[in-house]
Amino acid sequence: MPEGLDQAFPWERDGEWLDTKYPYVVHAELNTISNSTEDINGCSIYVTLFPCCECAKALVQSGVKKV
């Protein structure tokens, strides 16, 4: 969830799309890229599951070399 918005949006898993958490959640990989204060070009990232397609593209574009 974007910082500061965790109380303003729903946390439900079921129901109408906009009444669930899914349209508002930021994936960990994208959150890491967005909040990095150091140059991450050439870095490795450790994840528990395979990144989704959108996160994988963002990782490549940011210069991460190893997942």
Among residues 3, 16, 29, 38, the one annotated as catalytic is 29
Distance between CA 51 and CA 53 in Å, rounded? 7
Nearest CA among 66, 5, 65 for reference residue 31: 5
Is there a catalytic annotation at residue 29?
A: yes
Q: What is the CA radius of gyration of the chain?
A: 14
The residues carrying an active-site annotation are 29
